[in-house]
Amino acid sequence: MPNFQISINDINQTAANTGVGADATSGQAASINDSDLIFDTGGSWDWYSGGPEVNVQLDTNVVNQTAVNTALDGDASSAQAAGINDPDALVDSGSGGPDFNFQISTNLINQTAVNTAVDVDSLFPLG
């Protein structure tokens, strides 16, 4: 019997902070736990019982984090943490001819931070 397992996990986080006479800060934390298991105990293909078994496991895990902090006369800072835990198992204990087993995992973490701080006192030293 064919087994199909498809997992798609997507986290998008965006922070934009602007501080005037104050600090602009952001903190982001993201975590994906994607434990997948296919356990196939069926018999394999032979000429009398039909075609071969097909086991397919597709995982896509994506974390996107973007932070833009702008501070006038303050501090601009950001902290980002992301983790993907993707333990996959595909176990085929069938007997006989060959089965077709496919396991594809795609894990992607994108983190972007832009921090700009302007000290207005130094812009006008005589003021």
Residues of the chain where predicted confidence (pLDDT) is lower than 50: none
Report pLDDT for 124: 67
Q: What is the pLDDT of residue 18?
A: 97
Note the pTM of the prediction, 2 decimals. 0.81
As a three-state string, the secondary structure of 18-87 is EEECCCEEEEEEEEEECCEEEEECCCCCECCCECCCEEEEEEEEEEEEEEEEEEECCCEEEEEEEEEECC
Tell me what pLDDT residue 93 has: 83
Give the pLDDT of residue 46: 61
